[in-house]
Amino acid sequence: MGTRAGLYFVDKLIAGLDAKRDQDFPEFYLHNNSRIPDRTRAIVGNETSPEAELLRSFSALDQCKAEVIVSTCVTSYYFINKIKTRTRATVLNPVELLRDKVQQEYAPGRKIGLLCTSGTLRSQLFHTAFAGTGHELLTLDADQQEDLFMRSVYMDNGLKSAVISPEAYRLLNAAVQELCGRGADIIVGGCSEVQIGMRHCVLDAAVYLDTMDVLASATLRAIQA
């Protein structure tokens, strides 16, 4: 979840391999569980929790004897962090992996512009991970978060849709420009749909880091170990 974001992740996984023939690729399972309720609505609106369906996915992947599990929804980790001990597999966390990459590659004091869902903001996933690192997280104000970023993702023909409109890309770029204008050194794609629209965005002098990129790299390291 989301469906397109999951396929983008698989593409990144394959692109990181040095496979020459079918047999050189790792065995993997993609469970596109479209029955998982919306994670942001569960957090912000106190609607149906996705935990039961996440556990169903865990169970299905455990039956396949999966050794590593990832979710291509960053917001879902608010719930996954509570239930990850209920699978035999290792669960990789993209927020922690992104934090570690920033810590390793950038000196303290960076301004990090965060593009993520309102559910991720409310759950403080990134703020908790980056506490004490010396970096400053910049987020959109409440109106911009809803009118620019969340609308770009959730509108009809938004970034979650099968067919994406130019307006969705325009809104995402407007969100990026707002964060760049406030001095962001790094723009973080903290929602898996951001990767879908970033090719339509202008970054100015900022560096772009995507949680799905670091998650794909960590997954490759895990399965090749």
Q: What whole-number percentage of the chain has pLDDT above 90?
A: 97
Nearest to residue 59, comparing CAs of 1, 51, 223?
A: 51
Check whether 225 has a pLDDT greater than 80. Answer: no
Q: Report the DSSP beta bridge partners of residue 114.
A: 188
Q: Are 145 and 171 in contact (CB under 8 A)?
A: no
Section 14-31 average pLDDT: 95
The pTM is what?
0.95
- pLDDT of res. 52: 98
- Are domains 3-93+214-224 and 95-211 of this chain identical in fold? yes
pLDDT tens for each residue of 152-196: 999 999 999 999 999 999 999 999 999 999 999 999 999 999 999
SS3 61: helix
Q: What is the CATH number that goes with domain 3-93+214-224? A: 3.40.50.1860
What gap in Å lies between CA 60 and CA 165, rounded to an integer?
A: 34
CATH architecture of 95-211: 3-Layer(aba) Sandwich (3.40)
Q: 105-131, pLDDT tens digit by residue?
A: 999 999 999 999 999 999 999 999 999
Residue 71, helix vs strand vs coil: coil
Distance CA 90, CA 100 (A): 18
